Amino acid sequence: MELRDDQPTQHEFGSRTYLIAPVEPLDVDGVRTVQVGTVLFLIAFVGLLPFYGRLEETGRTWLLWMCLTGVGLGLLGTEYCKRRRQARAERDTTAHDAHG
């Protein structure tokens, strides 16, 4: 079997053969991933608010605070990822200008 450029790479381990397709990652900088997680924590927080009384009776108000903490950390993580993306873009531009 001849491997061309458009075919996936093949690796054999023991009696198994694994195909590795050349797929680019969807979200390299992580901004979208962190934003989606933050929104999910916010939805969970808002969804649990109507049940505050029941959560308090059963001693599970920590679920609300966990969701709120997830939102806070998600906002910090989004800012971090955006700054990292900007720093990488500046680094790549500087490296391209130095070599170009």
pLDDT digits (tens, 9 = 90+) for 9-54: 788 888 888 888 777 777 688 999 999 999 999 999 999 999 999 9
Q: Which domain holds residue 73?
A: 27-99
The answer to whether position 44 is within a domain reads yes
The answer to whether position 66 is within a domain reads yes
When divided into structural domains, the chain yields a total of 1
- Taking CA atoms, 94 is separated from 23, 74, 84, in Å, by 27, 30, 15
**Whole-prediction pTM:** 0.70
The answer to whether position 77 is within a domain reads yes
pLDDT digits (tens, 9 = 90+) for 74-94: 999 999 999 999 999 999 888
